[in-house]
Structure 1
Amino acid sequence: MMSGYLQRTTPAPAVSSLPAPGTGEVPMVLTLDELRPNPDNPRTQRNPRYADIKASIASRGLDSVPKVTKDPANPAFFIFSDGGNTRYAILQELWAETQDERFYRIACYVKPWPGRLMCLLGHLAENDLRGNLSFVERAKAVVSARELYERESGQSLSLRALSERLRADGYAVHPSNIQRMEYTVNHLLQVLPTLLEGLGRQEIEKLIALHTSARKVWFERTDTSDAAIFNPIFGEVCKEFDSEEAYSFEGFRAALTRHLQLKADKPELTYDHWLLALQGENVTPRGITAGSVVSSTVPDERAHEALLPPLETAPVHSDTEEEVTVGTSGVSMPEPLPDTRGSVPETLPGERVTTDTHQHVTDPRLKKDYQEEQLPLVGATPSSPSLLPPLPTPDGSPLRFPTASTSALPPLLSATDDSDGLPFLPDEDVTLAFADSGLEPVTDIWVVSPLQDDIDHLQGSAFRLAFELAESFELGELLVQDSDPASAGFQMQAGKDAIDLSNSPAWDWLNELSGKTMLLSLDFLLGTANQPPALNDFLMVKVMRLLRVLRRLRELQREDNSHV
C-alpha cells in the first residue's frame, strides 16, 4: 500500500507557486551546509519508511517545503522547526551519491524562533502525521515537554494541566495517555531500553499491567513493601528479554513468575499460584468486551489529577495506564494518599460500561494493512471470572464481572490496589483507537492541530485519507495528489479499460469530494434496509475525518482568495 501511495503522488510546485507562507515566514533557498537537524526531534530510531521516502525524493524531490528556524543560542545554522530531520538525512545521502544540485539547494520557509518547546511539539505533530513515531519516542517527547513547561512556569503540572497545555499548543494528548507515557519512561524504559524502542502500544500496555500486578502480588504474598527488593527481580528478568528477538509476552511472564517463586522462598506458593495471581490481576474493564466505552454517570474532575510517584521512591504504588486493570485480592480499596503534583479522587464514582457498535476491519485486504495498529483492548489473558472472588467497590458493594444482566463497573479502580490507592486514569470517554492506524491515523474527527492548520498540511491529510478509501476499493491507481493551492489535495483520474467504473460509488464519492459535481448516494455510507453500507466502521471514520479536513481546507482557501 505504501509503495502505491508514493507512486501516485506528484511533484511539489516551486516555492513561488505554493500558498503564501504563514505570518512571519520568509521563503528562502538554503544549502545543506546551512541546515542542521533539530536536536529536539523526538524520533530516535530510523524512520520505518526511510527507503520509500528516499525513493520518492530521488525521483521527484521534496513534496512539501520544510520549515526552518534559527536557535538564538546557536545562530550559525538553520534547524528544522516542524519535522524534516529524515528528509535532511536523505538529501545528504542523495547529494553525496549524485552531486545533483536539486538535493543540495532546498527551498524552505524560514520562521521566527518559536522556542524549544514549540519546536519539539512541531516535530511531534509532523512525525505523527508522516512517520508513525513509536510509542516510546512519543512518550519521551511528552516527558521532555513536561520538563520544558515546568521550567518555563516554575511550577509542577498535574496530568490534566499538562494535557490542557499540550492541547492549547496544538498537540492533543489525553491525561490517561500522558500517564501511560510517563510510567513507561520512568519505570520500564530504564530496564528494557532496547526492547521498548521496537514495541507497539499494545505490548507496552501489557508490560505495564504485568509489572504493576507483579509488584502488588509480591508485596501481598511476601508481606513487604520494599520496592528495592522487587525491582532487582524484575530487572533480572528484563535482561533476558531486552531484544525483539528474545521477547514474547508469554515467555516474559513465565520467567517473571519463576523468579518471583524462587525469590519469595515460600514452598506453599507454587508456580501455578503465582501465575494464577498474575493472570487474575490483569483482568481489565476494557478486556471484558472488546470495544467497550466507559462513560461516567457521576463525573469527578479530580480523578484526572492522580499522578503516580516514581518507582524508585514509592514503596507500594498503584501503577497502570490506559489498561485499567482490576485487582482480585478481595480487600477494600485503601484511602488515597495526597499527591504532591495534583489532587487525587476522594471517592471513585460508579460507572457504566456500554457496548460500542464499532466493528474492526473485516475486509481481508484491509486487515493485513491495519492489523499491526488495530490493537486488542485486553492487557493480558483474563482468568475466568468464576475463579476470582468479587471485588469490593468504594461503597462496600461487591464488584462483579458484567454478565448479560449486569454491566456496572468502576473504571477507576487501581491496577494494583496498593497502599496509596492512587488510581490510573480512565481512557477517553469515546475512543477511536480502532481507526488510529493507516496512512492517516484518526483519533479525533473534528480537532485540527494548529501546527497543521494550513493549506499544505490539510491537502496532504486529505490526500492520504482519500488514498486509503480508494485503495480499499482497488481504485488507488486512479487517485493522484493535486498540489494546486485551490484543490482538495487529490483528484480522481478516468478509469482504464480494465476497471469498470459504471457501478463504483467509491469513485463517484471521491470524485465529488475532489471538487467535481456529481449526485452522491447516501446508500454508499448508510446502506439500505436490504443492503449493508459499502464502508465498514474503520473506513467510515476516515470518511468523516476527510469531510472535516476538506471543510477546513476550503475555509482556508476562501480566506486566501479573499485577500487576492
Structure 2
Amino acid sequence: MTAMAKQRTTDLTDALLKRGRQAEATLTVATPDAPGSEMPMVLTLDQLRPNPDNPRTSRNPRFDDIKASIRARGLDTVPKVTIDPDNPGSYIFSDGGNTRYQALSELWAETHSEHFYRVHCLFKPWPGRIKCVIGHLAENELRGELSFIEKAIGIRNARQIIEDESGKAVSLRELATALTEQGYPVSYSSLSRMDSCVRHLYPHLPALLESGLGRPQINALLVLRSDAEKLWNHYAAEAKPEVTFENVMTKVCPHFNSPESWSLEMFRDEFIGELVSALPHPSLNYDRWLIELDPSEQNRRQLFGEPEPVAPQLQQQNQQPEPEAASRVPAQVRKPTPPPTTPGVASGNTSEPNSTVATGNTSEPGSAVATGNTSGAVSDVASGNTQSAPPDFWSIPTLQDDADHLRNIAFRLAFELADSDSDGEAVIPDNGANSGGYRIDEELSASPISCLLSSLAGGACDEDLPDLMRELLIGSSDAEPRFDNALTQTFMKLIRTLRRLRELQRQS
C-alpha cells in the first residue's frame, strides 16, 4: 500500500470517529432574538419564568409525585414556551408547565445538577395572551387539576382579555362562542354558574372556595342564594329593610369561610335566621324561609306548579279574634250533653274528660297524614278544651312531612338545644336512611344535654336519664330547670319530629 493510500485510510477513519454535529438550536441557549416558527431549544432555569396568567393559584396536589418522577426519570414531556412580551430576554410557559418549573427549581437548588438546570423545550412564537390563558386552562382540564374557583377565575380573566382586545363588553353567550372557536368549548350554563360564583360567593367565602370546594356544593349554595334573593326582592319594597341582601351575606359568610366550619345545613340555618331579622314581614317567618329555600320544594314546584293560595274564608278565620274556650272544640267532635250523673261512674268511663276527642283515624294526632289537613297549620293540641292553648309544636306542615325534611329539622333542633350549653359543635348531621337526622360526636361532646340528644337519636348515653330529664325540664324545690320555656318547647318539638320520622321509617 502506498503512503498516499495509507494516509487516505487514516483520514477516513478519523472522520468516522468524529462526534456528529448537533442541531444548532440545541448547542447553546436561546438568544434574545426569538425565532419566528416552532423549534426545539435548550433553556436554563434563569431564562424561564412562570406564566402570570396561569389560572392555578394553589399548590398542585400532585406536586410531590411530579417532583419525585422528575428526580428519577427527568421530564416525560417537553414543555412548550414562548417569548415573554414584557421581558424579551425571558420565556414563559404557553400551555402548562408551571408545576414542572417549580419542581425543577427545587431540584436544582437541592442538587445543583445541570440535569435539572438546562431544560429541553419547544418554542412557539408569541400567540397572544388569550391563547396562553386557554392553553393553560386546556392543559389543566386534561389533567383534572384545577379547582372550580380556579377555573372560574381563569375564564373570567380570559373574558377580560377578550374585552380589552375587542374594546367592547362580551356577554356570556359571546364568551362561550369565543372560547369554542379557540378550541376550549364551555357551555353557557357552566359559564353562568362560574360567573355567579366569582361575583357573588368569592368575595364572601374566598378561603373556602380556594380550599377546593366542589362543583355540587357550589351549585347548591348558588341555588340557595338565588332563591333567597328572589324572595327578598319580592318583599323588600313593602318591608323597607334597613340593610341590603348583600349585607346579610357579608354578616353570615365569615363564620363558614373554611373547610372545617363549612356545612350547607348550618349555613342555611344561620342565613335564614339573619334574613328573618333583617326583613321583618308578616308573611315571612323561619318556616316560610325554610320551605322556600328547600331544594325538594323547588323540584316539587317545577313538577306540579305553585301551591294553591289559601282560601279567603280560611284567611278570615285566621284574622278573627280567639273565641272562648268552650267554642274551641270543633262541632263535629262535640258529644251530646249526658243526663245528670256522677261523671265517670254512670258511663263506666274512668278516663280524663276530653281525653277522647276523636278524628276517626288511628294515626298519631297532629300529623299531616292523620288529620287530612292539607294546610298543615292546624294543631290538635290547640283544639282541646283548655283555657290557654299551648304552643303549637305538634303539627307538621305538609310540605315538610317527609323523612328528608324531618331529618333536617331534627338536626336543627338538636343543634339549638346543644348550643344552649355551648356544645353545638358536637351535633353532626346524619342523613342515613334510618338515622334520626343527627348524631353526637363523643370526642367533641362535653355536656349532659348532648348525652340526652344522643339517646333520643338512638345513640349511647352514660348519664342517668331520669335524673337528667328532671334536671333539664322540671328542676327541683331549690333549683330552676336548666331548660327555660323556649328550650322546653324546642325539646318537645324535637320529640314530636323524631316520633314522626321513626313512624315514616317504619312504614318504608
| TM-score after normalising by structure 1 | 0.46
Shift of the alpha carbon at 1:127? 1.1
Identify the match of residue 256 of structure 1 among 271, 277, 280: 271
Alignment of 1:207-286 (within 5 A): 207-222=221-236, 223=238, 229-266=244-281, 269-279=284-294, 283-284=298-299
| 1:207 CA displacement | 0.8
Equivalent residue for 2:124, pick from 81, 105, 111: 111
1:49 matches 2:78: no
| Contact 1:191-1:235 within 8 A present in 2 as well | yes
What amino acid is aligned across from residue 247 of structure 2 in structure 1? P
Say if 1:227 and 1:87 are closer, same or farther in 2 by CA, change over 3 A. Answer: farther
Deviations 1:94-152 (A, max 9, x none): 11112222111100011101111111111111111125201111111111111111111
Is contact 2:83-2:90 (8 Å) kept? yes
**1:387 and 1:152 mapped to 2: Cα distance?**
59
The answer (yes or no) to whether the contact 1:213–1:282 under 8 Å persists in 2 is no
CA distance in 2, matches of 1:123, 1:227: 45
- Residue number among 211, 215, 221 corresponding to 1:201 in the alignment: 215
The residue number in structure 2 matching 1:125 is 138
1:172 corresponds to = 185
Deviation for aligned residue 1:327: 8.7
- Following superposition of structure 1 onto structure 2, how do residues 119-518 of structure 1 map, counting pairs within 5 Å? 119-197=132-210, 198-222=212-236, 223=238, 229-266=244-281, 269-279=284-294, 283-284=298-299, 328=306
> How big is the shift at 1:236?
0.9
1:360-418 Cα offsets, whole Å, 9 max, x none, are xxxxxxxxxxxxxxxxxxxxxxxxxx989xxxxxxxxxxxxxxxxxxxxxxxxxxxxxx
* Distance in 2 between residues matched to 1:262 and 1:204, nearest whole Å: 25
Question: CA separation of 1:249/1:83 partners in 2, compared to 1, >3 Å: closer, same or farther?
Answer: same
Instruction: Output the amino acid matched with 2:78.
Output: V
| Larger fraction in helix | 2
> Which amino acid counterpart does residue 55 of structure 1 have in structure 2?
A
1:28–1:109 contact (8 Å) kept in structure 2: yes
Q: Report the AA paired with residue 165 of structure 1.
A: A
Structure 2 letter corresponding to 1:219: N
TM-score by length of 2: 0.51
CA distance in 2, matches of 1:140, 1:225: 35
Return the offset for 1:217: 1.9
Question: Are 1:97 and 2:116 an aligned pair?
Answer: no
Contact 1:117 1:148 in 2 (8 A): yes
Q: In structure 2, the residue corresponding to 1:75 is in which secondary structure?
A: coil
Q: Deviations over 1:261-314 (max 9, x none)?
A: 2222347643222211211586349998xxxxxxxxxxxxxxxxxxxxxxxxxx
Q: How far apart in 1 are the matches of 2:122 and 2:249?
A: 49
What is the distance in 2 between the residues matched to 1:264 and 1:163?
38
CA contact (8 A) 1:49 1:131 kept: no
For the structure 1 residues 269 and 163, does the alpha-carbon distance in structure 2 shift closer, same or farther, using more than 3 Å as the test? closer
CA contact (8 A) 1:209 1:282 kept: no
Question: How many angstroms apart in 2 are the aligned matches of 1:265 and 1:256?
Answer: 14
Structure 1 residue runs of 5 or longer lacking an equivalent are 1-13, 17-21, 289-325, 332-385, 389-564
Task: Report Cα offsets for 1:461-495 as digits up to 9, x if no partner.
Answer: xxxxxxxxxxxxxxxxxxxxxxxxxxxxxxxxxxx
| Counterparts in 2 of 1:108 and 1:282: CA distance versus 1, 3 Å | farther
For CA contacts below 8 A with separation 6 or more, give which structure has more relative contact order: 1
- Alpha-carbon shift at residue 172 of structure 1 (Å): 0.8
Q: Distance in 2 between matches of 1:161 and 1:130?
A: 27
- Are the structure 2 counterparts of residues 177 and 237 from structure 1 closer, same or farther at C-alpha, using a change threshold of 3 Å? same
Residue matched to 1:35: 48
Distance in 1 separating the partners of 2:101 and 2:241: 49
Return the offset for 1:176: 1.0
Q: C-alpha distance in 2, partners of 1:161/1:277?
A: 33
Compared with structure 1, are the counterparts of its residues 157 and 327 closer, same or farther at alpha carbon in structure 2 (3 Å cutoff)? Answer: farther
What secondary structure does 2:169 align onto? coil
RMSD of the alignment, in Å?
A: 3.3
For the residue of structure 1 that corresponds to 2:294, the secondary structure is helix
Q: 1:232 to 1:53 in 2, by over 3 A?
A: same
Instruction: State the secondary structure of the residue aligned to 2:218.
Output: helix
Alignment partner, residue 406 of structure 1: none
Bigger Cα Rg: 2
The percent identity for this pair of structures is 50
Deviation at 1:225, TM superposition (A): 8.1
- Rate the CA distance shift 1:280–1:98 in 2: closer, same or farther, 3 A: closer
In the alignment, what sits opposite 1:68? 81
User: How far does residue 73 in structure 1 lie from its aligned partner after superposition?
Assistant: 2.4
Q: Residues of 1 paired with 2:295 and 2:234: CA distance? A: 14
